Amino acid sequence: MTQSTLITDEMRSYIGRESEPVTVEVDKTACRMFARAVGYTDPVFYDEEEAKRRGYRSIPAPPGFLGHPVYNPARPQAGSYLPPFRTTVTRNLNGGTDIEYFDDICAGDVLTMTSKVVDLQEREGRLGKMLIIVSEMTYRRGDQVVAKMRGTLIRY
């Protein structure tokens, strides 16, 4: 097997290395806005009484919404959805996202998110070399894992 020209030893050293935790909040307004933006019409995403009638603690986070990172300029959090290493390929393309849920996520939840690179591959495309980066983000409420998101980033 020949040495890849895009994937360096430094990049490989990030595989499996978990980031520092980032605080993520799930609030009612954001749940409603996301539901509206993607076209969900089920009242459970808009009406807290309906959500509670159906057994939720509050308005549930719509599928695909895992909250927003909390920004505080006095305590900036390191944490990003992009890997921390540099490469010669600079254009980004979303190669897909999968989310696995382990519990309900509802408005009012404060989660912590950590991320890690789980795979790196190099491929040749019509426009040249591509770097395929697969990352996994783990969302926790306290010690309980409530969701895992696996995303593929294509850099070309």
Domains, the chain, in order of start with CATH, read: 1-25+70-156 (3.10.129), 27-65 (no CATH)
Q: Which of 30, 1, 14, 13 is nearest to 115 (CA)?
A: 14
Radius of gyration of the chain (CA): 18
Task: Using the predicted structure, report yes or no on whether residue 74 has a pLDDT greater than 70.
Answer: yes
What's the pLDDT at 73? Answer: 81
pLDDT band of residue 57 (cuts 50, 70, 90) is: very high
pLDDT band of residue 79 (cuts 50, 70, 90) is: low
Runs of H (alpha helix) within 4-147? 9-13, 28-38, 48-53
Mean pLDDT of the region 30-47: 98
- The set of residues, in sequence order, having a beta carbon less than 8 Å from that of 102 and lying 6+ positions away, is 144, 145, 146, 147, 148
Task: Using the predicted structure, report yes or no on whether residue 118 has a pLDDT greater than 60.
Answer: yes
Instruction: Say if residues 90 and 156 touch (Cβ distance below 8 Å).
Output: no
